[in-house]
Amino acid sequence: MVSRDEPYRLVWSEPMTKVAERFQVSGSYMARVCTLLNVPRPARGYWAKLAVGKAPPPEPLSDARPGDQLSWSNDGMLPAPPKPRQPPKRRPNAEVRVPRARVHGLLRGAKEAFENGRPVKDDAYLKPYKKLLVDVTATKACLDKALGFANDLFNALESVGYRVVLAPADERFGRTDIDEREVRATQRHAHHSCLWWPYRPTVVYVGSVAIGLAVVEMSGLM
């Protein structure tokens, strides 16, 4: 595992192409790793300016926030979406205004991922191929409602300063089984759910405490 301090040190000491060669990945992939770990990197033209003594000083490595990924392994999965930017500092208890019409970052592209998943019956729960995805379980008929509810919930939480993210890979949070039945059978027998399972849970950080979030369309079956 590589901590975020090492890529930070390397990208400010040599060009990105050489850093990428160290980890046997492409330069664009290494740039995504820096974004994932919230590591600042030199702007275009930095090395030419450095050669003539006109380069700006390196940007400092900011402190990690709760929910930030702190390390990376090149045999692990790397999410495609960019990391959310650091929110502006605010007074304690001050409201953070988030437009209700804003599509939360975790929901961008989610509908397409669910609809283009494994073939299922018309009234069955969708099973996306993509596993690094927001924790929503729904049928095709209720997918828009479930994603809309998740979007409103995530925006409402972030409007009061709580971050909603996919759990960092290095935290290794567990996710409990979810019973989707509204009415449970009276007989005591094991219930084997066929719901899809995300690669990482969706969590909201309240301070440094992570709380799992899952939006599930309930079933009337017993």
Q: pLDDT tens-digit profile of 34-65?
A: 888 889 999 989 999 999 999 899 999 988 88
Task: Specify whether the CB–CB gap between 166 and 67 falls below 8 A.
Answer: no
Q: Where are the domains of the chain?
A: 1-86, 102-222
Q: How far is CA 84 from CA 10, 87, 163, 164, 166, in A?
A: 23, 8, 10, 10, 11
Mean pLDDT of the region 113-120: 92
Q: Which tokens sit at 80?
A: 């495609």
Q: Which residue has the tokens 């060669």?
A: 21
> Which ranges of the chain would DSSP assign to H, the alpha helix?
5-11, 16-23, 27-36, 46-51, 110-115, 143-159
Q: Say how many C-beta atoms besides its own lie within 10 A of residue 157's C-beta.
A: 19
Write down the pLDDT at residue 89.
Answer: 54
Write down the pLDDT at residue 84.
Answer: 47
* Whole-number Å distance between alpha carbons of 69 and 84: 12
Mean pLDDT of the region 172-189: 73
Write down the pLDDT at residue 15.
Answer: 93
pTM: 0.61
Taken in order 139, 158, 37, 16, the sign of the CA dihedral is positive
Q: pLDDT tens-digit profile of 72-108?
A: 887 655 554 444 445 445 555 554 454 556 899 999 9
Is the predicted pLDDT of residue 186 greater than 60, yes or no? no
Mean pLDDT of the region 133-138: 94
Write down the pLDDT at residue 96.
Answer: 47
